[in-house]
Amino acid sequence: MCWNEDHLQIFFAHSKTDQSGDKPRDPRRVYANPVYPEICPILALGIYLLCYLPDELSLFPGRSQYKRFMQVLSKIMMPPNQSATAVTAHLRSLGLQPEDLGSHSIRKGAATYCSSG
């Protein structure tokens, strides 16, 4: 990750098409959103860094970010005592079950719909 002029550049070690990480990397570019600070990735990163100190090798703690995300998502969708939260109740009113949703539901659902114009 590095800063370049007016944007943050993020380099990924591997991708779906290059699992070994041998190909040259084109960075993903992340820009600030001064119009809507509540969804600004640069502001969110700044707040995160003010609250948590990353170690030398990773920005986020833990070995499996996917597992950590899914644990948080499952706590929101289905609390331990199995009582219906507002989120769970709303999903069921739409004919959905919380167990049917996962990380790709978010990635391939609303975000794709919103960004595809």
Q: Which two tokens stand for residue 44?
A: 């969110």
Q: Which amino acid is at 95?
A: G
* Residue 110: HSE in the Cβ half-sphere, 13 Å Cα cutoff: 4
**DSSP, residue by residue, 69-112:** HHHHHHHHHS-TT-PPPHHHHHHHHTT--GGG--HHHHHTTHHH
pLDDT tens for the chain, 117 residues: list them: 899 999 999 887 766 777 676 776 788 899 999 999 999 999 999 999 999 888 777 787 777 888 888 888 777 776 666 566 777 788 888 888 877 777 766 665 565 666 665
